[in-house]
Amino acid sequence: MVHGGRRWPKLTEGLHGRAHSLQAPAPGQAVPIFRCDNPSRAFFFPVTPDEVRTVLAQLPASHVERLTHVWFRRVSTRAYDEGNVPFAEFVRGSGVAAIILYPWPVDRLLYFGRQSVPPAILRFYRPWAPTLVSDERGHFLCFTAEGLRRFYLEHLLLHEVGHLVDSWRGARSRGRVRRAESFADDYAVQWFARGRVELAP
């Protein structure tokens, strides 16, 4: 089972295979296990493992006790440019329940092509204060480093924890799969926007 953390995720079969390459923890091994890839020169991780640990520690133990891995996963420029990589995802299966965070381009731009950025997308990203810019290539949202740090911790991480919590609430069904993204979005709002989780300065 894989859930993507982009607002409009695009996943491929290759992503499923890579996600399931994680190994289940050994009996008695402390979890979650942090696996940190070295991003290429074109990308960076806006958050650190310690910042992720700090947020997870503020959530109820029952929400995160089944989390086995947090993977800072490398991505290729080609896969990113083709739109085949989400910002983050949750995968569960074969003894693994993992949150996977993908890096961001070092120019801190989110590209939308030549069509204007829809108002709904601008409203979604507004809490992280990106700047809308345009050039001969098309339209972009430009984030500050701090804005990206907050986006990863306030939304992406908590969104994937929401998928973790939701995955244990009952058997999968077509209706539950359709509601999964909504549940994860609501979870992120409940645990950050309402002041239950605080970020270190």
pLDDT tens for each residue of 5-53 = 444 433 323 334 445 578 999 999 999 999 999 999 999 999 999 999 9
SS3 category, 48: coil
Tell me how far apart the alpha carbons of residues 29 and 150 are, in angstroms, rounded to a whole number.
30
pLDDT at res. 168 = 79
Q: Where do the structural domains in the chain lie, given as residue ranges?
A: 2-108+143-193
What Å distances lie between residue 63 and 15, 58, 67, 162, CA to CA? 25, 10, 8, 8
Q: DSSP strand E in the chain: where?
A: 2-4, 33-36, 43-44, 69-72, 88-93, 96-101, 104-105, 109-113, 131-135, 138-142
Mean pLDDT in residue range 78-99? 90
According to DSSP, the residues that pair with 111 across neighbouring strands are 140
Question: With bands split at pLDDT 50, 70 and 90, how would you rate the model's confidence at 176?
Answer: low
When the pLDDT of each residue in the chain is averaged and rounded to a whole number, the result is 85
Question: With bands split at pLDDT 50, 70 and 90, how would you rate the model's confidence at 62?
Answer: very high
Q: What angle do CA 114, 15, 40 make, to 5 degrees?
A: 70
CB neighbours (10 Å) of residue 49?
Answer: 15
pLDDT at res. 85 = 86
pLDDT at res. 47 = 98
List the structure tokens of 174: 């077509």
Place of tokens 């290729």: 76
pLDDT at res. 172 = 54
Place of tokens 């645990």: 191
According to DSSP, the residues that pair with 3 across neighbouring strands are 90
Q: How many CA atoms lie within 13 A of 91 on its CB side?
A: 23
pLDDT at res. 139 = 94
Q: How many CA atoms lie within 13 A of 153 on its CB side?
A: 25
pLDDT at res. 81 = 85
DSSP state, residue 29:
-
191, pLDDT greater than 80? yes
Closest among 53, 25, 6, 7 to 199, alpha carbons compared: 53
* pLDDT tens sequence across 123-156: 999 999 999 999 998 999 999 999 999 999 999 9
Tell me how far apart the alpha carbons of residues 166 and 144 are, in angstroms, rounded to a whole number.
32
Greater model confidence, 151 or 169: 151
SS3 category, 89: strand
In percent, the amount of the chain with pLDDT more than 90 equals 63
pLDDT at res. 13 = 30
